[in-house]
């Protein structure tokens, strides 16, 4: 949905890796651009408002917030803060999905969900 897979400090997720592995996804479609929500979130929120929808479910891309081990990316978090402000300003409830195929690849490379530390 977001797109902007390599902008503002975001690193790869397990979905980025999976979708770019030959034979895993039809036509090797991926989320590099997707709906470009990262750049068009204000327009998207306005469309949601115009449709009369009162809630918006979105995913948090963890590699945008934690691009490397021990590294927090304030620029990545700023996107979500701005999205939340936009939703609130339009009277739309935010419903965040905390995990949706977006484990940072660097965590997967250390064992991912199979490791207790995660």
Question: Has residue 100 got a pLDDT over 90?
Answer: no
Residue 9 in domain: no
CATH code at 76?
3.30.750
Residue 6 in domain: no
Average pLDDT over residues 73-91: 97
Residue 118 in domain: no
Residue 108 binned pLDDT confidence (cut-offs 50, 70, 90): very high
Q: Per the structure, how many domains does the chain have?
A: 1
Question: Has residue 117 got a pLDDT over 90?
Answer: no
Global confidence as pTM: 0.91
Of the candidates 84, 83, 85, 112, the one whose C-alpha atom is nearest the C-alpha of residue 99 is 112
pLDDT value of residue 39? 97
Residue 61 in domain: yes
Average pLDDT over residues 10-19: 96
Question: Has residue 17 got a pLDDT over 90?
Answer: yes
Of the candidates 47, 35, 60, the one whose C-alpha atom is nearest the C-alpha of residue 87 is 47
Residue 37 in domain: yes
Instruction: Tell me, rounded to whole angstroms, the distance of Cα 22 from its chain centroid.
Output: 23
Range of the domain at 71: 14-22+32-110
């Amino acid at each position: 949905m977001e797109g902007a897979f390599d902008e503002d400090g975001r690193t790869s997720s397990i979905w980025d890796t999976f979708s770019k592995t030959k034979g895993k996804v039809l036509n090797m479609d991926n989320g590099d651009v997707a709906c470009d929500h990262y750049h068009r979130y204000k327009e998207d929120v306005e469309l949601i408002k115009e449709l009369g929808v009162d809630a918006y479910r979105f995913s948090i891309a963890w590699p945008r917030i934690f691009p490397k081990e021990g590294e927090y990316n304030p620029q990545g978090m700023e996107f979500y803060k701005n999205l939340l402000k936009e939703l609130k300003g339009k009277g739309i409830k935010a419903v965040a999905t905390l995990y949706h195929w977006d484990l940072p690849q660097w965590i997967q490379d250390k064992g991912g969900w199979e490791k207790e530390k995660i």
